[in-house]
Structure 1
Amino acid sequence: MRAAIVAHDFGAVFSLARDLARISYSKIAAECDIKPERVGTLARGQGRITSFEKIATIADALRIPGHLLGLAPRDWEAATGPGNNAPTASARTSPTTRGGSETVLRREFFRATAGAGLVLGLPELTQIQTGRQIGRDVPDQLRQRTARLRRLDDVLGGGDTYRVYLGEYQATKTMLREGSYTEETGRGLLSVLSEQAQQAGWAAFDTGEHADATSLYEASHQAATQAGDTALAGNALAFLAYQKINTDRTVGIEIAVQSCGTAGPDAPPGVRALLYGRLAWAYAAAGGADETERALDAAETALSEDDGTPQPDWAAWDGNGLQIMAGRCWTELRRPIRAVPVLEGFLSRYDDTHARDKSLYLSWLADSYLTAGEIEQATATISRALELSAGVASVRPRQRLAPILHQLKAYKELPAVTDVLEKARA
Structure 2
Amino acid sequence: MDDLRPSPAQIPHRLLSDPRFVHAVQTRDFTTVFAMAREHGISYYRIGETSGMKADRVSKVARGEATVTTLDAIERVADALRIPGALLGLAARPWENSSPRPHPESDDGDDPMNRRQVLRGALAAGLTTTALAALTESRQPVDLALTADTSPADLSDLETAAEAYGYGYHGQPPTRVLADLASDFVNLRPLLDSPQPVATRIRVCRTAGQMSGMIAIVLHDLGARKEARKWFATASKAAQESGDRQLHAWVLAREAMVPINYGAPQAAALLAEQARQAAGNRPTAAATLAEAVAARAYALSHQPDRAREALTAADMLMERLDASARADTWLTHGEQKHHVHLSHALTALGDTPRARESQQRALELSAPTSTMTRSLLAIDAAACFHHDGDTEQACQRAVAILAALPDAYRTGLVHHRALDLYYSIPAQHREESAVRELHDVLAA
TM-score range, shorter chain: 0.5 to 0.7
State the alpha-carbon separation in 2 of the partners of residues 152 and 341 from structure 1: 24
Show the counterpart of 1:86: none
User: Which of 416, 421, 425 is the matching residue for 1:399?
Assistant: 416
> 2:230 matched to 1:215?
yes
Mapping of residues 254-403 of structure 1, within 5 Å? 254-266=270-282, 269-309=284-324, 314-347=330-363, 350-375=366-391, 377-393=393-409, 394-403=411-420
Query: Is the contact made by 2:219 and 2:225 (CA closer than 8 Å) also made in structure 1?
Result: yes
State the alpha-carbon separation in 1 of the partners of residues 326 and 353 from structure 2: 33
Show the counterpart of 2:109: none
State the alpha-carbon separation in 1 of the partners of residues 297 and 184 from structure 2: 30
The CA deviation string for residues 43-79 of structure 1, in whole angstroms up to 9 with x for no partner, is: xxxxxxxxxxxxxxxxxxxxxxxxxxxxxxxxxxxxx
The CA deviation string for residues 201-251 of structure 1, in whole angstroms up to 9 with x for no partner, is: 112222222222111111111111111111111111112322244465434
Question: Compared with structure 1, are the counterparts of its residues 247 and 340 closer, same or farther at alpha carbon in structure 2 (3 Å cutoff)?
Answer: closer
Measure how far apart 1:195 and its partner are: 0.4
Measure how far apart 1:164 and its partner are: 2.3
Show the counterpart of 2:177: 161
How many pairs align? 295
Mapping of residues 113-124 of structure 1, within 5 Å? 115=120
Show the counterpart of 1:146: 162
Measure how far apart 1:320 and its partner are: 2.5
Residue type at the aligned position of 1:298:
A
The CA deviation string for residues 352-380 of structure 1, in whole angstroms up to 9 with x for no partner, is: 42112211221111111112122454245
The CA deviation string for residues 252-277 of structure 1, in whole angstroms up to 9 with x for no partner, is: 312211111112234x5322211211
Bigger shift: 299-308 or 277-286?
Answer: 299-308
Show the counterpart of 1:199: 214
Question: Compared with structure 1, are the counterparts of its residues 187 and 293 closer, same or farther at alpha carbon in structure 2 (3 Å cutoff)?
Answer: same
Identity %: 17
2:402 is paired with a residue of what secondary structure?
A: helix
Query: Is the contact made by 2:266 and 2:298 (CA closer than 8 Å) also made in structure 1?
Result: no
Measure how far apart 1:157 and its partner are: 4.7
Query: Is the contact made by 1:241 and 1:255 (CA closer than 8 Å) also made in structure 2?
Result: yes
Q: Which runs of no fewer than 5 residues in structure 1 stay unpaired?
A: 1-111, 117-131
Show the counterpart of 1:252: 268
State the alpha-carbon separation in 1 of the partners of residues 426 and 361 from structure 2: 24
Measure how far apart 1:197 and its partner are: 0.8
The CA deviation string for residues 365-410 of structure 1, in whole angstroms up to 9 with x for no partner, is: 1111112122454245214421443322441112221343464993
Query: Is the contact made by 2:276 and 2:287 (CA closer than 8 Å) also made in structure 1?
Result: yes
State the alpha-carbon separation in 2 of the partners of residues 423 and 239 from structure 1: 29
Structure having greater relative contact order (Cα 8 Å, sep ≥ 6): 1
Show the counterpart of 1:181: 196
1:373 is paired with a residue of what secondary structure?
A: coil
Q: Larger radius of gyration, structure 1 or 2?
A: 2
Question: Compared with structure 1, are the counterparts of its residues 162 and 390 closer, same or farther at alpha carbon in structure 2 (3 Å cutoff)?
Answer: same
State the alpha-carbon separation in 2 of the partners of residues 244 and 338 from structure 1: 24
2:408 is paired with a residue of what secondary structure?
A: coil
Q: Which runs of no fewer than 5 residues in structure 2 stay unpaired?
A: 1-116, 122-148
> 2:221 matched to 1:241?
no
Residue type at the aligned position of 1:280:
A
Show the counterpart of 2:36: none
State the alpha-carbon separation in 1 of the partners of residues 264 and 407 from structure 2: 31
The CA deviation string for residues 140-197 of structure 1, in whole angstroms up to 9 with x for no partner, is: 43222112233352424543332322222222134212x3432211110000000011
Query: Is the contact made by 2:248 and 2:275 (CA closer than 8 Å) also made in structure 1?
Result: yes
Show the counterpart of 1:4: none
Bigger shift: 188-197 or 366-375?
Answer: 366-375
